Amino acid sequence: MSLPLFDRFLAPVDAAAPFDDIALIQAMFDFEAALARAQAAAGMIPAVSAGAIASVCKAELYDLDALAAASTRAGSLAIPLVKELTHTVSLYSAEASAVVHKGSTSQDVQDTAMALCTRRSLDALDAVLARLIASLLDLAEQHADTPMLARTLMQPAQVTSFGLKVLNWTAPLVRCRTRLRDAASRGLALQLGGAIGTQAGLGLHAGAVSRHMADALGLALPASPWHTQRDEWLRVAMEAGVLAGCLGKIGTDLALMAQVEVGELSEPAAPGRGGSSAMPHKRNPVGALVALAVAQRTPHRVAALLGAMGQQHERGLGTWQAELAEWPGLFIGVHASALALADVFAAPDVRPDRMRRNIDALHGLVFAEPAAALLAPALGKAGAHTLLEQLSGDAARDGHPLEGLMLAAVQADPALRKAVDAAAVKRVFDPQVALAAARRQFDERLPALRAA
């Protein structure tokens, strides 16, 4: 397929290739060749006829632009394709031309071709996801003990580790990869129903022909033709949509951490990457940009596909065609998003010093909760919370370290001085001590993610 310019900006050739014009037309010819061979194997047509048909099922033999133009008039790309195929076969064998497309219908060709293109797209996406996941898991292990700010509602909260943050990016990708494979194993299925889905044109050979075709094309064999039963098919799209959202979440965090005033993580530097036409100093996060743009567009694509499920009777009018037009863009986008982030995390610029500086710049405020817990046995939970709330306000207003204010409060109160020692206070404000809970969770989860 030929993408508009700004679509091409978001989707490199690798992502678009499985659905380009030649790939889609060839997939339709692959259906016709497999149909002829399966019918010959079942004894429906002569083997020599099957050979004649299959020998000219090659996209490069046909005028693709002419096929596309004719499809607008015909209402289906399969109609002019089958017509041209029949004509070409007739040049070599009148007998073979009489059995081209026997027992099939336009929707069989187009649905099966789209399943073939989607499978190729998902195979390529799976390889990219494997690369991205491996890079993220390695990065997580490298930074299991690197302290950084956790942020809730866009505000500093407590201390976590960068390794755990990366692990939290990775876990949804591992789940999505598994569920997308599972959905594809059922949803990418042969379509072979004939005119109204009863396989009447195949007669008693329907089962044998279907099995032979599904095996030859590497597609699932459905329990029955699924012309207007789009549930298993759409589950593949919905899993892809969830994956796009998970990639978008990583892109969001990456973009926020890459802000110069935060400066904790940046995309790899390369000539011409992320520059500005006006500002020489700019280093824009273009990988995050792609992931965010795809995540922004994906819900509308999935909604359009879900909206097209109400297909009329035994073949949809407008609904099925809308689905066909919308489908490739979803998978091209998700592949592009994964590819962009895989390139980023092959060599990310991680800055532990900035992570630590951002913690220190808050004067210990992010340790207020464990500090209150330390005082709670002596003051009660409510009293400790009230005191730390007051001390935190003083620290935020005057820029004094919360640790020092808390030590002064302890020294000023005989009961606190007796119950709390300075070493315990110091431990509460140590970022490495604060990492203990994050490290425990990290160690518990990493082996399972590696295995998955």
User: Do residues 269 and 417 share a domain?
Assistant: no
Is the Cβ–Cβ distance between 269 and 283 less than 8 Å? yes
Residues 8, 120, 235, 315: which is the catalytic one?
A: 315
**Mean pLDDT for each 10-residue chunk of the chain (452 residues)?**
72 89 97 98 98 98 94 92 98 97 98 98 98 98 98 96 98 98 98 98 98 98 98 98 98 97 91 50 83 97 98 97 96 96 97 97 94 93 94 92 94 89 93 93 96 91
User: Do residues 16 and 119 share a domain?
Assistant: yes
User: Do residues 347 and 368 share a domain?
Assistant: no
Q: What is the CATH number of the domain that holds 423?
A: 1.10.40.30
User: Do residues 327 and 399 share a domain?
Assistant: no
CA separation for the pair 382, 386 (Å, rounded): 6
Locate 418 and state its tokens: 């007796």
Point out the domain boundary residue: 352, 378, 397: 352
Position 6 scores a pLDDT of 74
- Specify whether 315 is catalytic: yes
Distances in whole angstroms, Cα of residue 302 to Cα of each of 170, 224, 237: 23, 25, 7
User: Do residues 121 and 171 share a domain?
Assistant: yes
Position 265 scores a pLDDT of 97
| Count of other CB atoms within 10 angstroms of residue 74 | 16
Position 276 scores a pLDDT of 43
Point out the domain boundary residue: 352, 382, 404: 352
| Count of other CB atoms within 10 angstroms of residue 314 | 14
User: Do residues 311 and 341 share a domain?
Assistant: yes
3-state secondary structure the chain: CCCCHHHHHHCCHHHHHHHCHHHHHHHHHHHHHHHHHHHHHCCCCCHHHHHHHHHCCCHHHCCHHHHHHHHHHHCCCHHHHHHHHHHHHHCCCHHHHCCCCCCCCHHHHHHHHHHHHHHHHHHHHHHHHHHHHHHHHHHHHHCCCCEEEEEECCEEEEEEEHHHHHHHHHHHHHHHHHHHHHHHHHHCECCCCCCCCCCHHHHHHHHHHHHHHHHHHCCECCCCCCCCCCHHHHHHHHHHHHHHHHHHHHHHHHHHHHCCCCCCEECCCCCCCCCCCCCCCCCCCHHHHHHHHHHHHHHHHHHHHHHCCCCCCCCCCCHHHHHHHHHHHHHHHHHHHHHHHHHHCCCCEECHHHHHHHHHCCCCHHHHHHHHHHHHHHHCHHHHHHHHHHHHHHHHHHCCCHHHHHHHHHHHCHHHHHHCCHHHHHHHCCHHHHCHHHHHHHHHHHHHHHHC
Is the Cβ–Cβ distance between 252 and 283 less than 8 Å? no
Containing domain of residue 236, as a range? 5-352
Residues 276, 357, 440, 450: which is the catalytic one?
A: 276
User: Do residues 420 and 382 share a domain?
Assistant: yes
User: Do residues 163 and 233 share a domain?
Assistant: yes
Position 10 scores a pLDDT of 79
- Specify whether 276 is catalytic: yes
Contacts for 125 with CB less than 8 Å, ≥ 6 apart:
180, 331, 334, 335, 338
Site of tokens 């207007």: 228
Point out the domain boundary residue: 296, 322, 352: 352
Number of domains in the chain: 2
Closest CA to 252 of 149, 321, 139, 341: 341
User: Do residues 172 and 46 share a domain?
Assistant: yes
What's the predicted TM-score (pTM) here?
Answer: 0.93
Position 281 scores a pLDDT of 54
Residues facing 266 on adjacent strands: 349
Backbone dihedral angles phi then psi of residue 349, each to the nearest 5 degrees: -100, 95
Distances in whole angstroms, Cα of residue 51 to Cα of each of 37, 38, 339, 366: 7, 11, 40, 74
User: Do residues 272 and 419 share a domain?
Assistant: no
User: Do residues 344 and 364 share a domain?
Assistant: no
Is the Cβ–Cβ distance between 119 and 218 less than 8 Å? yes
User: Do residues 342 and 382 share a domain?
Assistant: no
